[in-house]
A and B are shown apart, each in its own frame.
Chain A
Amino acid sequence: EPEVTQTPSHQVTQMGQEVILRCVPISNHLYFYWYRQILGQKVEFLVSFYNNEISEKSEIFDDQFSVERPDGSNFTLKIRSTKLEDSAMYFCASSEDQGYTGELFFGEGSRLTVL
């Protein structure tokens, strides 16, 4: 069964360092997303991406964050200068379509720990 894969599964970094989280969406999907989940809290929307541009972003997704689809298979989330409060599980998701037929498939997440 096709799945969304994410790397790394866990990354530990020092505050102020740049981090890139990588995702390989399901191959025929066109819509891509990043969500995050701070430990013990609910999953929060960060950004959606379609046709090589951001469709929507939340207030969390400030100038420290960026997304990119560098090639035909990867979708990355970059945090330019990490803060302690960026520590969370980051989930990538993809969907084939939008709306009622646009089921999101989530990866298993990348845990980011900022020290």
Chain B
Amino acid sequence: GESVGLHLPTLSVQEGDNSIINCAYSNSASDYFIWYKQESGKGPQFIIDIRSNMDKRQGQRVTVLLNKTVKHLSLQIAATQPGDSAVYFCADQAAGNKLTFGGGTRVLVKP
């Protein structure tokens, strides 16, 4: 079946270092992907998105890379800060705004 999944369940990173979170998807027809951040006790929060006609998109301290050949996307967080500690989900947004979420990666930022 269709799925969007993550490689690493937990990522520990030193404050100031860069973080890379990976995600694989199986539906080759997927054309719109979003990264969400979920802090403890809160709902998912939009971070950055990318359409399938792009390979890379940059935001403020975040970059998303999309490799359609291997159906893989990643989220890079530059100069990771304590406030970046959260669970990060990739999601595939299909028609009707239906989101299919991956399993999540917990990022722990060490001071």
Contacts and interface: CB of A to CB of B under 8 A. Distances in A.
Interface in A16-44: 31, 33, 35, 41-44
A31 B98 CA distance: 11
B97 A43 contact: no
B82 interface: no
Given A100-B32, A100-B51, A43 B44 contact: yes
B46 A104 contact: yes
A72 interface: no
Nearest to B3: A42
A33 B104 CA distance: 20
A108 interface: yes
Q: Which interface class (under 10, 10 to 19, 20 to 34, 35 or more) fits B? A: 20 to 34
Interface of A: 4, 31, 33, 35, 41-45, 48, 55-56, 91, 93, 95, 98-100, 102-109
Interface of B: 32, 38, 41-46, 49, 51, 89, 91, 95-104
Given A44-B101, A91-B44, A108-B41, 19 more contacts: A31-B97, A42-B89, A42-B102, A43-B91, A43-B99, A45-B100, A48-B96, A93-B43, A95-B97, A98-B97, A99-B32, A99-B97, A100-B49, A103-B46, A106-B43, A106-B44, A107-B43, A108-B42, A109-B42
